[in-house]
Amino acid sequence: MSATLKRVGIWLGLPVALVTVWWFASAGSTDFFRPSLQRIVQAFRETWLGPRFVEEVLPSLARLAVGYVLAVILGVVIGVAIGLSVRTRALTEPVLEFLRAIPPPILVPVIMLFAGIENTMKVIVIVFGCIWPILLNTVEGVRATDEVLTDTCQVYGVKPLRHLVLQSASPQIMTGARQALAIGIILMVISEMVAANNGLGFTIVQFQRGFQIPEMWSGVLLLGLIGVALAGLFHLAERRVLVWYHGSRDADRR
């Protein structure tokens, strides 16, 4: 118990210190563009803890969820297909390198042309940005499948795809998925900043244009909090899925 408390303390220590400094340094600020933290927190409460949460935040999160899940599914399926065959890998590598090199935000105006500015466009942008780390990591993970385990599957009539390939690639798949999550949040906001009629990115830009500065800052704060919360959820999920992986790595180190 005390160990957990200590960890929470270490984890929260710096953020609490920074917020405290910010709070007192900005207290009583009369600068229009840099309002006091107290003012921002007040704006946060008024802005986000109400109908706006449903109208602006949930649509953003829903698009992120759909795009992210699609990217994970597509990335794993395509990654496994490519990783299993040496020939496919050689064939697809140059194309993948090219596609991966395109910065996804540049696709927002392009995709707008045929997918409009509604949800479809934003989901496509998120999928396109998130898929690469997942796909490429899956390919690497599948490639590294142990030969002895492959032989074992063959001798004992065990279906290798489900029982071996996906499992043994799961640490790499999770690494890719973690990277993709951060990219997904960025693209969620960017796609809304360029063209949208709701969503977090859209609302923050609206505040900025309307000189509602404390509200704008509170939106930035909210994005940061969402990022931390999603990373925390991911960490919990990863710990469950990869119990064996972390355990065996610790066992090797001993």
Partner 1 sequence: MLIVDRLSKVYDAHGRRVEALADITFSVAEGEFACVVGPSGCGKTTLLRCLAGLLSPTSGTATVHGKLAVVFQEYGRSLFPWLRVRDNVGLPLKDLSKRERQAKVEGALEAVGLTDAAGAYPWQLSGGMQQRVAIARAIAYGPRVLLMDEPFAAVDAQTRADLEDLIRDVWHRLGVTLLFITHDIDESVYLGQRVIVLSSAPSRVAENIKIDLPDERDQLTTRGDARFVELRARIYAHIQKAKRGSTS
The least distance separating partner 1 from the CB of residue 169, rounded to whole angstroms, comes to 11
- Residue with smaller CB distance to partner 1, 118 or 151: 151
**φ, ψ of residue 117 in degrees (nearest 5):** -110, 10
The nearest distance, CB 96 to partner 1, in angstroms, is 28
Beta carbon of residue 194, minimum distance to partner 1 (angstroms, whole number): 43
160/227 with CB nearer partner 1: 160
Shortest distance, CB of residue 140 to partner 1, whole angstroms?
A: 18
**Residue 196 — φ and ψ, nearest 5°?**
-170, 165
Please tell me what DSSP assigns to residue 53. Answer: I
Residue whose CB is less far from partner 1, 31 or 147: 147
Tell me how far CA of residue 187 lies from CA of 119, 190, 250, in angstroms.
13, 5, 36
Cβ atoms of 43 and 214 within 8 Å: the answer is yes
Phi (first) and psi of residue 82, to 5 degrees = -70, -40
Q: Which is nearer to partner 1, 31 or 252 (CB)?
A: 252
Among the listed residues 44, 27, 45, the one whose alpha carbon sits nearest the alpha carbon of residue 36: 27
How many other C-beta atoms are found inside a 10 Å radius of the C-beta of residue 150? 14
Residue of 141, 143, 163, 138 lying closest to 79 (CA atoms):
138
Q: Identify which of residues 90 and 102 has a Cβ nearer to partner 1 in the complex.
A: 90
Q: Which residue has the tokens 């297909």?
A: 81
Rounded Cα distance, 244 and 201, in Å: 39
We find the least distance from the C-beta atom of residue 172 to partner 1, in angstroms, to be: 14
Query: In the complex, which residues of this chain contact partner 1 (CB under 8 A)?
Result: 146, 148-149, 151-152, 154-158, 163-164, 167-168, 170, 244-245, 247-248, 251-252
- In the complex, the smallest distance separating the C-beta of residue 106 from partner 1, rounded to whole angstroms, is 40
Nearer to partner 1, 130 or 165 (CB): 165
Q: What type of residue sits at position 109? A: P
52/143 with CB nearer partner 1: 143
* Alpha carbons 46 and 28: distance in angstroms, whole number: 20
Give the shortest CB-152-to-partner 1 separation in angstroms. Answer: 5
Give the whole-angstrom CA distance, residue 174 versus residue 234.
9
